[in-house]
Structure 1
Amino acid sequence: MKTAVIVFPGSNCDRDMAVALRRATDRAPVMVWHKDAALPEGLDMVAIPGGFSFGDYLRCGAIAARSPVMRAVTEFAVKGGIVLGVCNGFQVLIEAGLLPGALMRNAGLRFVCRDVHLKVETASSPFTSCYQPGEIIRMPVAHHDGNFIASPELLVRLDAEDRVAFRYAGVEGRAAAAANPNGSAADIAGVLSENRRVLGMMPHPERHAEPAHGGVDGARLFESLAGAMAR
């Protein structure tokens, strides 16, 4: 299983992502610089990590989405390659047109950095097969622009096509609205592409991938990916 992590100026979760992928696949990913015009041969999966690519100028992810490597990532995705974008990576995927909707400034206009609870909405994807639908899990978020915006028609379509991967969830009597850290429409925390092989999500699974992190719920996302790539 061969994976790659895309690195932009301002990426700061690329090493965390690489460690999580190496633990899950027993093979270190290739670190690919944003100016590279091509991806390495024989890749099974590409990850776009969190951070502040290009300082978040213009719109978060807008400049990164126009980097030379993103043309190759788009081609890889169109051909059915597995692509994961986390936090800033989610923003890049939306700006590149690989996922629908938009990610805007948090509803509270504040940077949010804390653990959140998520409801797993589907296990039918390469990213979520090791979870149970309806399961409540915990992962960290750290973002200023994670407010997922979509038209009513798109929200209906995402639900009808089972393309919502995760939603922010209330636990221990708290309402889901109180658990939503950014105001995302329908409490959406992660969405899938039409072919279900591209996932963008604001929470950081790579930061809850081993016991030393204080939680391991993110590890199963990488285990799901390892299983999907092995098939």
Structure 2
Amino acid sequence: MTSTPASTGTATPMKFSIVVPTYNEAGGIERLVTTLDDIFRKHDLDGEIIVVDDNSPDGTGAIVDRLEREGYPVRCLHRPGKMGLSSGVIDGWKFARADSVALGAMDADFSHDATILPRMVEALASGGYGLAIGSRYVPGGGIENWPKRRIITSKVAIALAQPLTPVKDITSGYFLVKRDAIDGVDLDPIGFKIGLEVIAKARYGRALEVPYVFTDRVAGESKLNQNEIFNYLRQLGRIYRARLAGKR
């Protein structure tokens, strides 16, 4: 399902926190924070950015600390070492301000289109949806700069998960979910597919997929490798076994 443009200006904007896990993202993190800040201001969004940095040797965390001191709506959770993307998102949600109604995740590398964030926020603020997903696989969405092999891998991964949900882009890592939809939910992801875990387990009711064009990272290194593909299959197997056992 796709969205239609909507104004996000309200008397009391919905508070939300979006988590950006990082490891060696010094090349782009300042640009991302300033871009999101511009979007928050332009659309009257009450958002905060939580950067969860795994002790990046390139100084990513120090850049974020400076941006916070300069008044940007960002805080950094410093972790002692490279502990993984999914655990970083979950730790970031725990670190987020307690009154945020919605929690989300996005990548630091500009592969996720920040300009659709207002439409994702509006979907949840309107009360009609409990989950908004940045989607590559609905009309209007797409992928740029991926080799054929990676496109095939992505489509196979989605096909394997399709019996779990009508969501088209179940492997998306760009989403916002109502906090009460994940309260008490046992999120136990393997690897970096936290979105899969949320889509398959959270109590969000209706989900809205907002189309965007995924653009491969402009700085840093991709997190996809053979080990992460194996982790995805392990995670998918866990979810299917839980469903067969009658658990959410």
Q: Which is richer in strand?
A: 1
Fold match by TM threshold 0.5: no
Q: Normalized against structure 1, the TM-score is what? A: 0.31
Q: Which is richer in helix?
A: 2
Q: Which has the higher contact order (CA 8 A, sep 6+)?
A: 2
Q: Normalized against structure 2, the TM-score is what? A: 0.29
